Structure 1
Amino acid sequence: MHGDEHALFGAALAFLAAAVVSVPIAKRLGFSPVVGYLLVGIAIGPVGFNVADPGVVSTVAELGVVMLLFLVGLELKPSSLLSMGHFIFGLGTAQLMLTALAFALLAYFGLGFGAAAAVVSGLALSISGTAIALQLLGERGDLASPYGQRTFSILLFQDIAVVPLLALVPLLAPGGEAEVARDPKATLLAAAIAVAAIAVIVVSGRYLLNPLFRVLARSGAREAMTAAALLVVMGAAGLMEAAGLSAALGAFLAGLLLSESTFRHELEANVDAFRGLLLAVFFMSIGMSLNITVVLGHIPSLLVGTLAVAVVKSVIVYLVFRADNIAPQDSMRAAVALMSAGEFAFVLFPLGLDNRILKSEQADLLIALAALTMILGPLLFAALSRLLPRFARPAAEPPADDFADADGSVLVIGFGRFGQIVSQCLLAQEVTVTIIDKDVEMIQSAGRFGVHIYYGDGTRLDVLRAAGAETVEVICVCVDNKEDANRIVEIVRASIPNARLFVRSFDRVHSMELARLGVDFELRETLESALSFGARTLEALGVPQNAAAARIADVRVRDRARLERQLEEGIFAGGEVFSGHKVEPEPLTQPEKPARPLNPEAQDILSHETEFSG
């Protein structure tokens, strides 16, 4: 390898090793992995091992934030976003304006900043860390809670507000207003470009992406689907950035437009692995960018400033949430989750420096202050999560009939003939059902069933998790392939041990295999239909309906008893199942007469069978 290749290889190894080491240690100490990433970033940064340039690393690592916003968009739907309008523009505006005003006043009167510098500082510090807040809420599973939805709404408003804020900074520069006034056409052109970029993403997401994924799904090339998912994220982000908007906002729009796509879970599974790794690198890059020289030279003022930011921001967020009737404990969680400075602080402060609004020392101190709040926020959130349950009042026991009308949630894997009938039964009872299948034709026909069905490979753990396998009440494995069914069962039993598994069995031997794998229920795909067919045949022969039903019930019991005996003694009544040995059907009722061949061919076959058996 050449020198540059050695350096790149060494940096990659350092980041991977740091990620592997930091997470278990942070978890062991009871902290969020974010804290571990930030601290280990300091260790491998310029003041430590200096494995890479923090500026280059942060540029690459910002892709993690982009992918995070894409996945958040996938989790929402346009209708859900519209219903959150009050939270986004009501709570979001209140939080941003009140916090920015408080910080601007502190900077102007307390630190002697100029008016423009105070405004830029206040706005930059009032924006919260999207990646940190969503990571903290996601670890607790609180994103879907009332306070989690409001927290996300504020974060989304802040991401939207970044666009005008980036345009505002040059206006605050000395002579900036006059420059814009002299060239209004440039301002209008920039606005038109931004609107056009958003329109391109909306039209593409609405009319082009689903046909593209459908063609790729038919090809069966999983790597092509992964490449297409990354292309969508990077393309939307790059287009918005080229138009002067937020790359993260472009990725969010792309995810939002694909949130109702049948390929949603497959996209989520393909992007999620990249998102997690790049987010880890992003947090490490923040630790690397911390200017330790500035920190050591201004420790008292930075500690006071970090504490002031934490208190002011938390109090304002707490009051905003309490004004919206959120419980005190949840308001405290939201306040701490939104306390950290945001990723865009590392964009706004250098922009203020470039436009001569901030002095070099001021920018360095503010960047260090923002980084310290990012370290303090997850630490306080972890401490709060430990302390609040101790002071919580015991929840009252719900009335016995509280959940009488609640429907179970079921994940059906495989939407063939068997899965369709199972789904019909569940939907008739108004049970919420999620269906995943990797057959494009099955997905296209699913619209007639009035269900949501998503493209995905059910034998992949990431797809199962993305489809909600960890939260549903029952997982119905209805695939028509024995090996795929066994693989799904093994994956679920290993990674989601508490899941209830109902599995379609291929034949008798497969039923025994599934029983040994510990499924909760298995059923041979032809058993009940054959029994029903037999009952109707008996009735056609003159057997009374009750007698026919009793005979079929007896056969069902005999069959189950034999299966249980074979599980204990082996498929050959005491022997073991030999690989490749064909299992022959056996009568459940001993025949009164031997078999009688009616043609020479049958006679020949039976005679050879007798010789073989003897």
Structure 2
Amino acid sequence: MTEYFIYSFIYLAAAVIAVPIAKRLGLGSVLGYLIAGVIIGPIIGLVGDETTSIQHYAEFGVVMMLFLVGLELEPKMLWKMRHRLMGLGGLQIVLTTVSVAFIATLFVEEWSVALAIGLIFSLSSTAIVLQTFNEKSLTKTDGGQNAFSVLLFQDIAVIPMLALIPLLALPELIELSQATFTDTAEKHAELSLVAGIPGWAYTLVVIASIAIVVIGGHYLSRPLFKFVADSGLREIFTATALMLVIGVAALMSLVGLSPALGTFLAGVVLANSEFRHELESNIEPFKGLLLGVFFITVGAGINFTLLSEEFALIIGLTLAVMLLKMVVLLLLSFLFNVRGSDRWLFSLSLAQAGEFGFVLLSFSGQQNVLPEPIIQPLSLVVALSMFFTPALFILFDKVILPHYQKNSNQREEDNIDQLGSVIIAGAGRFGQITNRLLVSNKIPTVVLDHESSMIDILRSINIKSYYGDATRPDLLHTAGIEQASLLIIAIDDKIRSVELIKYVKHAYPQIKILARAYDRGHYYASKYAGADYVVIETYYSAVELGAQALIDLGFSLKKANQVRQTFQQSEAKSGEALYEVWRQKGDFDQNYRALFIQLEEELNHAMEASQTEESPDSHTSDHSKREGN
């Protein structure tokens, strides 16, 4: 028992130290876990032979992850994805398998061994890719969506692969296995419901198991979760969620199917359940921790002795597999019209082998398809390809994405063919609303934005706008800054917006400048630069929402408006005092913080003074009046 405590402490301590450091360095959490595993395993030697056993348990994190992925999907969504799922995912599996198998025939004699190797390396790492997509907010991109479709098809394809691999068994390995491992095979057979049964019976068992998951999840889960939720014990709901995932995984394992696919199917069935979010919140911590431990075991399991002995071969195979997969994915990106930086995101993110590669390697050994001398170096290739994957994401972030962003800004600026009394710099959500309000009142505007994609979107919905950098003096001249009455600044870059205010106030002092600020610091900087009117973009919407909250809590419409007015008056008064203190230092120093606390106390007193004898509970909100207001 003591050694398990010690190993648990080592793994968790390695994660606690390495992952935050990796995140701060911009390397991502996955690379942090992998590095932690390498340090505590091959380098320091704190962990050793138990790594493989721990990895089997940690792989359950992949199972949980696919359950959560299933919860985010609905059958209708899967149907909409069918073309990318079957077309893109299916072609990726076939082309990669054939390519790898063809190359493998140059090194091995048996075609069945080459085919097994091709199947193993056709898979990518769902755990690493989805984890990194979530961290870097790449899930909703076109490249991320296509990569997700491929990963989803790969996970589904594991089932037919598991069914095919036993058919590739080598006769000489079968004889050796029967002579040496008879007892072990009998022990494994005891844990299977389908061992020794005919093919037609196995098919019926598989259909029955899937039916249990689908029908049970649809009809039995809601009464069960409602019964547990009514107890009011959160830990019992957590236990129920874990019981569900573990039970489905166990059932799939007993009938020879992929536990990950079974839990994914269960997640899809429960995607419309009202308990979905509660399930996610209960499973997520376990998933994250187990995935982290799994990545650590991958790093700790790298056999540096074998790597040093066969360094050139293993590194060469790893890079060759990743390059081959990337070429296949690039070809498919052209075929399926994945463009720009999304093409490279799609190709680089899936270039590695995956965690299911370990499963298939182990299964291939058990089924006498691959001999042990081949399994060991291939396991290293799988592990190293996963280890190198975060570097590919860094390459995408630091080199490829900036290149495409730079090229997107190299589009020639539009010819401004009409002038207006108002120039709006920035065509984002803020600038668009301002422009619509002015144009609907017959006020001519000139809208400028340096994001070409945004300009194209606006033009597609008949909103007149021009591509160009509003901070450039020559473009402002072309836009008619000399004849304009107002300049409205709504660009995203805080520094560039302040510099624009300074320039226009110096070169065209007659122009009145209205500016949008992101926060209080940006507000002060814009005001100090000379803007005539500055508004923090969230201020009025937050005040409006707060007033509505008071009404919904029982305040009358009149009372809520009175409180809102008092709040805004106090904010305006204190804002001037806070600005003067900020202006003296140009920063939020200790004097600023002390004054802010003092003014907050004065605000509380002002709000109390505005209270009348009218009780908020004695009035209810009048919906029609609110609509009129």
Is this a same-fold pair by TM over 0.5?
Answer: yes
Q: Which residue, out of 71, 78, 82, partners 1:74?
A: 71
State yes or no: 1:279 paired with 2:291.
Answer: yes
Q: Residue 60 of structure 2 aligns to which amino acid in structure 1?
A: L
Question: Which aligned pairs between 1:111-190 and structure 2 lie closer than 5 A?
Answer: 111-175=107-171, 186-190=198-202
Partner of 2:437: none
Q: Relative to structure 1, is the Cα distance of residues 50 and 520 closer, same or farther in structure 2, using a 3 angstrom cutoff? A: farther
Task: For 1:40 and 1:28, locate their aligned partners in 2 and report how far apart those are by CA, in whole Å.
Answer: 15
| Runs (5+) with no aligned partner, structure 2 | 179-194, 415-423, 434-518, 521-538, 574-598, 615-629
Task: For 1:199 and 1:403, locate their aligned partners in 2 and report how far apart those are by CA, in whole Å.
Answer: 47
Partner of 1:62: 59
Q: Relative to structure 1, is the Cα distance of residues 586 and 74 closer, same or farther in structure 2, using a 3 angstrom cutoff? A: same
Task: For 2:610 and 2:393, locate their aligned partners in 1 and report how far apart those are by CA, in whole Å.
Answer: 63
SS of the aligned residue for 1:310 comes to helix
SS of the aligned residue for 2:546 comes to strand
Partner of 1:608: none
Task: For 2:339 and 2:606, locate their aligned partners in 1 and report how far apart those are by CA, in whole Å.
Answer: 64
Task: For 2:46 and 2:564, locate their aligned partners in 1 and report how far apart those are by CA, in whole Å.
Answer: 71
- Post-superposition CA distance 1:449-502 (Å, at most 9, x none): xxxxxxxxxxxxxxxxxxxxxxxxxxxxxxxxxxxxxxxxxxxxxxxx99xxxx
Task: For 1:573 and 1:380, locate their aligned partners in 2 and report how far apart those are by CA, in whole Å.
Answer: 57
Task: For 1:350 and 1:104, locate their aligned partners in 2 and report how far apart those are by CA, in whole Å.
Answer: 18
Shift of 1:359: 2.4
SS of the aligned residue for 1:215 comes to helix
State yes or no: 1:42 paired with 2:41.
Answer: no
8 Å Cα contact 1:58-1:282 kept in structure 2: yes
SS of the aligned residue for 1:76 comes to coil
Shift of 1:133: 1.4
Partner of 2:508: none
CA RMSD of aligned residues (A): 3.6
Q: Relative to structure 1, is the Cα distance of residues 527 and 294 closer, same or farther in structure 2, using a 3 angstrom cutoff? A: closer
Partner of 1:394: 408
Shift of 1:532: 5.7
- Post-superposition CA distance 1:130-178 (Å, at most 9, x none): 111111222222222332222111111111111111121111113599x
Task: For 2:85 and 2:563, locate their aligned partners in 1 and report how far apart those are by CA, in whole Å.
Answer: 62
Partner of 1:313: 325
Shift of 1:333: 1.0
Shift of 1:288: 2.1
Q: Residue 92 of structure 2 aligns to which amino acid in structure 1?
A: Q
Q: Relative to structure 1, is the Cα distance of residues 27 and 401 closer, same or farther in structure 2, using a 3 angstrom cutoff? A: closer
Q: Residue 326 of structure 1 aligns to which amino acid in structure 2?
A: V
Task: For 1:564 and 1:321, locate their aligned partners in 2 and report how far apart those are by CA, in whole Å.
Answer: 55
Task: For 1:127 and 1:155, locate their aligned partners in 2 and report how far apart those are by CA, in whole Å.
Answer: 8
Shift of 1:72: 0.7
TM-score by length of 1: 0.66
Q: Which residue, out of 314, 319, 328, partners 1:302?
A: 314
Q: Residue 208 of structure 2 aligns to which amino acid in structure 1?
A: A
Shift of 1:60: 0.9
8 Å Cα contact 1:66-1:251 kept in structure 2: yes
State yes or no: 1:86 paired with 2:83.
Answer: yes
Q: Relative to structure 1, is the Cα distance of residues 563 and 128 closer, same or farther in structure 2, using a 3 angstrom cutoff? A: closer
| Runs (5+) with no aligned partner, structure 1 | 408-496, 499-514, 535-551, 578-582, 589-614
8 Å Cα contact 1:108-1:114 kept in structure 2: yes
Task: For 2:199 and 2:552, locate their aligned partners in 1 and report how far apart those are by CA, in whole Å.
Answer: 72
Shift of 1:40: 1.8
Shift of 1:558: 7.2
Q: Relative to structure 1, is the Cα distance of residues 192 and 568 closer, same or farther in structure 2, using a 3 angstrom cutoff? A: same
8 Å Cα contact 1:322-1:328 kept in structure 2: no
Q: Relative to structure 1, is the Cα distance of residues 194 and 47 closer, same or farther in structure 2, using a 3 angstrom cutoff? A: farther
Which has the larger displacement, 6-15 or 256-265?
256-265
Partner of 1:431: none
Shift of 1:321: 1.8
Shift of 1:584: 12
Shift of 1:96: 0.6
- Post-superposition CA distance 1:73-104 (Å, at most 9, x none): 11111110111111111111100110011111
Q: Relative to structure 1, is the Cα distance of residues 214 and 584 closer, same or farther in structure 2, using a 3 angstrom cutoff? A: farther
Q: Which residue, out of 546, 549, 562, partners 1:522?
A: 546
Count how many residue pairs are aligned between Structure 1 and Structure 2: 448
- Post-superposition CA distance 1:202-223 (Å, at most 9, x none): 0111111122222222222111
Question: Which aligned pairs between 1:522-541 and structure 2 lie closer than 5 A?
Answer: 522-523=546-547, 525=550, 531=556
Partner of 1:336: 348
Task: For 2:105 and 2:247, locate their aligned partners in 1 and report how far apart those are by CA, in whole Å.
Answer: 41
Q: Which residue, out of 337, 360, 363, partners 1:325?
A: 337
SS of the aligned residue for 1:210 comes to helix
Partner of 2:396: 384
Q: Which residue, out of 274, 277, 280, partners 1:262?
A: 274
Q: Residue 384 of structure 1 aligns to which amino acid in structure 2?
A: F
8 Å Cα contact 2:225-2:275 kept in structure 1: yes
Q: Relative to structure 1, is the Cα distance of residues 262 and 406 closer, same or farther in structure 2, using a 3 angstrom cutoff? A: farther
Partner of 1:547: none
Shift of 1:244: 0.8
Partner of 1:201: 213
Task: For 1:289 and 1:528, locate their aligned partners in 2 and report how far apart those are by CA, in whole Å.
Answer: 58
Question: Which aligned pairs between 1:320-469 and structure 2 lie closer than 5 A?
Answer: 320-392=332-404, 393-394=407-408
Task: For 1:320 and 1:226, locate their aligned partners in 2 and report how far apart those are by CA, in whole Å.
Answer: 42
Partner of 2:104: 107
Task: For 2:129 and 2:543, locate their aligned partners in 1 and report how far apart those are by CA, in whole Å.
Answer: 38
Q: Relative to structure 1, is the Cα distance of residues 34 and 569 closer, same or farther in structure 2, using a 3 angstrom cutoff? A: closer
Shift of 1:530: 5.9
Q: Residue 522 of structure 1 aligns to which amino acid in structure 2?
A: G
Q: Residue 76 of structure 2 aligns to which amino acid in structure 1?
A: S
Q: Relative to structure 1, is the Cα distance of residues 284 and 572 closer, same or farther in structure 2, using a 3 angstrom cutoff? A: closer
Q: Percent identity?
A: 37
Task: For 2:568 and 2:24, locate their aligned partners in 1 and report how far apart those are by CA, in whole Å.
Answer: 48
Shift of 1:36: 1.8
Task: For 1:265 and 1:564, locate their aligned partners in 2 and report how far apart those are by CA, in whole Å.
Answer: 41
Task: For 2:603 and 2:325, locate their aligned partners in 1 and report how far apart those are by CA, in whole Å.
Answer: 68
Q: Relative to structure 1, is the Cα distance of residues 209 and 308 closer, same or farther in structure 2, using a 3 angstrom cutoff? A: same
Partner of 2:534: none
Q: Which residue, out of 212, 215, 225, partners 2:227?
A: 215
Task: For 1:66 and 1:10, locate their aligned partners in 2 and report how far apart those are by CA, in whole Å.
Answer: 26
